[in-house]
Amino acid sequence: MGTRVVLVRTALVLARDGGFLQRLLPLFRLGLGGRLGTGRQWMSWVHIEDQIGLIDFLLHQPDASGPYNACAPAPVRNADFARSLAHCLHRPLLLPVPAVVMKATLGELAGLLLGGQHGQPARLQDEGFRFRFGDLDAALADLLDQAAKPNG
C-alpha cells in the first residue's frame, strides 16, 4: 500500500503578520510603493486563511494526491496589485521599482516576482474547495482592517 503524496504549490501568501504583503506595506504606507518592473507580470496570491483552509481540506480528502495550486482563483497583474494596495491604504501610487534595483536588493526572489505566475486552483475547486477570499480587494481589505485593530 502506497503513501498518499499531496504537493501544495503555494502562491504569494498575503498575511497580516508576515508574508509578501508585510514586505510591501512600509513603502506603500509612505506613499512610495509602485509596480515592480514593467508591472505586466502575473501575480498569483492567496490569503493566509485560504492557505490554511485548503491544506486542512486536502488533509481530509482521502482521494487527494498529486499537485494542487494554492492560489486564489483571480490572479492579477503586478500593476493592478500595486494599484489595489495603494487604494486600500488611501495612498498615491507613484514610483515603479526598476528591475535592476529589485535584482540588487532581492536577489533570487526578484526573478520570481519579475517573471510572474498565472496559477489557477482548478483541481482544488473541482474537488469542492471554496475560497473565502477569491478577490484581491476583499483580501486586502480584510488584512488591512485586521492590521488596524490592536488584537487583529
The residue that leads in pLDDT, 111 or 83, is 83
58 located within any domain:
yes
- Residue 146 has a pLDDT of 61
**DSSP conformational letter for 75:** -
pLDDT tens profile 85-101: 999 999 999 888 888 88
53 located within any domain:
yes
CB 132 within 8 A of CB 57: no
| CATH number for the domain that contains residue 37 | 3.40.50.720
151 located within any domain:
no
In a 13 Å sphere around the CA of 81, the CA atoms on its Cβ side amount to 26
Phi, psi of 3 (to 5 degrees): -90, 135
- Residue 94 has a pLDDT of 82
Assess whether pLDDT exceeds 60 at residue 37: yes
- Residue 152 has a pLDDT of 46
Q: How many domains does the chain have?
A: 1
Nearest to 73 by CA among 142, 152, 28, 139: 139
- Residue 103 has a pLDDT of 81
Q: Average the pLDDT over 14-42 and give the result.
A: 89
Average confidence score pLDDT of the chain: 89
Which residue range forms the structural domain that includes residue 107?
6-145
Angle at 147 between CA 28 and CA 8, to 5 degrees: 85
Single-letter code of the amino acid located at 37: G
18-18 sheet: strands from edge to edge: 18-18, 12-15, 45-47
Assess whether pLDDT exceeds 50 at residue 28: yes
Euclidean distance between CA atoms 80 and 82, whole angstroms: 5
Q: Average the pLDDT over 31-42 and give the result.
A: 90
